[in-house]
Copies of this chain bind each other. A is one copy, B any other.
Amino acid sequence: MGERTRIARYFAPLAPDAGSFSLTDDAAVLAAPAGFSLVITTDSVIESVHVLAAATPQQFATKLVRRNLSDLAAMGAQPWRYTLNLHTPHGIADEWFAKFSAALVAEQSQFGMVLIGGDSTSAPHAAIHATMTCFGLLDGAPLRRNGAQVGDDIYVSGTIGDAALGLLMLQQKLPSDPALIARYHTPQPRLALGSSLHGIATSAMDISDGLLADTAQLCSASDVGAIIHRDAIPLSPAAQQAVAWQAILNGGDDYELLFTAPTSARDTIAELAASLALQLTRIGEITAGNEVVLVDENNVRLPMPSAGFTHD
């Protein structure tokens, strides 16, 4: 059973509150501090699952923070507070905690949030588990996944596939390129973009499981289909060299934003890209139906690469 099926079957019935969106969005919205909504999101990083077994404490902390903040960005919220649960193997060196907490200091300073609680457990297991729960503040309505309309444009921020290629490099499957490896270790949560998309985007989510899988998620939530123009997908120069479509279309860990907007918003989005100094690229259109279709430059349908990463 996949994660989504499991959540829908076993956990969504436990979540009747309207602000939890039946557990289908990136984060939950609670009624919260004066003038703001409080946005809660939580994600874990497990050694050898979300980071490599050889991950440094800094890589661990960075991935943990940014996985979470990417979810806040996707809702249009700003970081505020967080809790941390840390489960470490017996006998781990204090040095690990020192480096991990130093990395968190840098992260929370950069992103303007502070720790408010947590727990720490030493366990007789080999892998480090960390969970972060982030509390974001939101001025206005959240960006949701379910608002895409037939005829909307589909956009992505940044470039797609770099982190997946970086991971292949770390696994010695591609020649190494420090820029792409950095994209894997140090995602950039698109917080400024998320908070700028209020009133512009009709739907948004972050790309964590791969462009095609996440487009399918967004379409499912909005009850629409999509055409993705493969040659419009923005690639870094290094990704253009690699021509590894399987990794680019299905690779996880991009942490870019995927969003939809009416065609009337094209000028506004171009201005937004300029003001944020962030590439925002139109890669397709929302269609009627429920299918996500990939096409080439002549609008000829391409075979879908086999499914990317799925939680199980």
Chain A residues engaging chain B, CB cutoff 8 angstroms = 1, 3, 6-7, 10-11, 13-17, 19-20, 23, 27-28, 30-34, 38, 40-44, 46, 48-50, 81, 83-85, 87, 90, 94, 97-98, 100-101, 104-105, 108, 114-127, 129, 131, 133, 135, 311-312
Instruction: Report A106 CB to chain B, min CB distance, Å.
Output: 11
Closest to A125 in B: B127
A11 to B16, CA, bound (A): 34
> Which of the residues B17, B32, B125 comes within 8 Å of A125, measured between beta carbons?
B125
CA A40 to CA B62, docked complex, whole Å: 23
Given A6-B97, A81-B17, A97-B10, does the pair A30, B119 have CB atoms closer than 8 Å? Answer: no
In the complex, what residue of chain B is closest to A107 when comparing beta carbons? B14
A15 contacts B46, C-beta separation under 8 Å: no
In the assembly, what is the distance between CA of A17 and CA of B113, in Å? 10
- Asked if B27 and A120 sit within 8 Å, CB to CB, the answer is no
Q: Is the CB of B49 within 8 A of A123?
A: yes
How many copies of the shown chain assemble into the complex? 2
B3, B30, B108: the one contacting A120 at CB < 8 Å is: B3
> Sorted from nearest, which 7 A-B pairs have the closest CB atoms?
A10-B101, A28-B116, A14-B115, A20-B116, A28-B117, A15-B115, A31-B33
Query: Measured between C-beta atoms, what is the minimum distance from A176 to chain B in Å?
Result: 26
Query: Would A44 and B1 be within 8 Å (CB), given that A10-B97, A33-B32, A129-B87 are in contact?
Result: no
Q: How far is the CA of A129 from the CA of B126 in the complex (A)?
A: 13
- Closest approach, in angstroms, between the C-beta of A143 and any C-beta of chain B? 16
CB of A117 within 8 A of CB of B33, answer no
- A14 vs B101: C-alpha distance when bound (angstroms): 8
A27 touches B117 (CB 8 A): yes
- Given A15-B117, A42-B133, A46-B121, 19 other A-B contacts at CB below 8 A? A1-B97, A11-B84, A14-B104, A15-B114, A16-B114, A17-B114, A20-B114, A20-B116, A23-B117, A30-B116, A40-B83, A42-B119, A42-B131, A43-B85, A44-B85, A44-B131, A46-B125, A87-B129, A125-B126
